[in-house]
Amino acid sequence: MEKEKRTILPAHAIVLAAGKGTRMKSPLPKVLHPLGGTPLILHVLSSAVTAGLASITSVLGYGKEEVERTILEWAEGVEGVNFYFAIQEEQLGTGHAVMVAEATSRGKFPYVVVLLGDVPLLKSTTLRNAVYQAIAEESDVLVITTRLNNPAGYGRIVRNAMGEIVAIKEDKDATEEEKQINEINTGIFVFRDQSLWPYLKNLSCNNAQNEYYLTDMVEELLRRGKKVSSYTSENPLEFYGVNSKDQLETLEKLYQARSYERSRS
């Protein structure tokens, strides 16, 4: 029987996976901790491949040899996808992580998708729909957002009276008024390739964390008169990240419940 042909999205993926995960209190790199017996980052890569991304750069840092080996072993069973690696020697923020991926990412496809290596429940359909929307709206950047009852710790989506995004404020930099906003940045973006790289170098680390925030690209592109749009998911569980063993245990319960539901459908 002939294999069903996979639809390829016109986008290159950058997966941020350099962090040590200090709060995991384990020598194992955070993205290699298992969920349902599979390392977190392989869940992310699997969603990316299923969505139709055929070109992927993983940004590595702590435990880079071990993470790269895990990805390459898994990739042996994946056809038609090119895997690349970039190294972030110092963890200077999400913006910096994307900067180090420029050599393996720039100019490959019209769009660049930025994913997080520790957010394993992201659905391929969500990713695919977001890319299609960015194309349809001719966005220079599309931000994937969701809403939380308790948004503490997350970057808030700041909109104007017309509902347009005007900024993303990280929790530590947000005003008390901005902290009341429950629409949050998931950390997943779709950039137009030609709009990302020329302006990425303009990011500043003048903030509470002294890091280069990728979220600041929203205001940077708006200043340049570029198109900023959003794709809002009604399912916040897709964007549940892992920063501690307690969070991993919670995620494992969610994952097993979802697996059970799938087995009954």
Convert the pLDDT of each residue in 85-138 to its tens digit. Answer: 999 999 999 999 999 999 999 999 999 999 999 999 999 999 999 999 999 999
Strands 111-116 and 141-147, by their bridges, are unpaired
Residue 35, domain member (yes or no):
yes
Determine, yes or no, domain membership for 17: yes
Q: How far apart are CA 184 and CA 204, in angstroms?
A: 22
Q: Is residue 2 part of a domain?
A: no
Q: What DSSP state is assigned to residue 22?
A: G
What three-state secondary structure class fits 200? Answer: helix
Q: How would you write the pLDDT of the chain (265 residues) with one tens digit per residue?
A: 344 567 899 999 999 999 988 889 899 999 999 999 999 999 999 999 999 999 999 999 999 999 999 999 999 999 999 999 999 999 999 999 999 999 999 999 999 999 999 999 999 999 999 999 999 999 999 999 999 999 999 999 999 999 999 999 989 999 999 999 999 999 999 999 999 999 999 999 988 888 999 999 999 999 999 999 999 999 999 999 999 999 999 999 989 887 745 543 3
The answer to whether 29 and 63 are in contact (CB under 8 A) is yes
Start-to-end Cα distance in the chain: 25
d(C-alpha 223, C-alpha 140), whole Å: 12
| Interatomic CA distance for residues 108 and 53, integer angstroms | 12
In a domain, 206, yes or no: yes
Per-residue pLDDT at 208: 82
In a domain, 6, yes or no: no
Domain count, the chain: 1
Alpha-carbon span 143 to 169, nearest angstrom: 13
Eight-state DSSP code of residue 33: S
**1 found inside a domain:** no
Encoded amino acid at 218, one letter: V
Out of 23, 223, 224, 258, pick the active-site residue.
23
Residue 93 and residue 148: Cα distance in Å, rounded?
23
Closest C-alpha among 81, 61, 68, 63 to residue 27? 63
- Full domain range(s) for residue 37: 11-264
Domain-located, residue 4: no
- Asked if residue 57 lies in contact with residue 14, where contact means CB atoms within 8 angstroms, the answer is yes
Calculate the CA 19 to chain-centre distance. Answer: 13
- CATH code of the domain covering residue 168: 3.90.550.10
Active-site residue flag, 23: yes
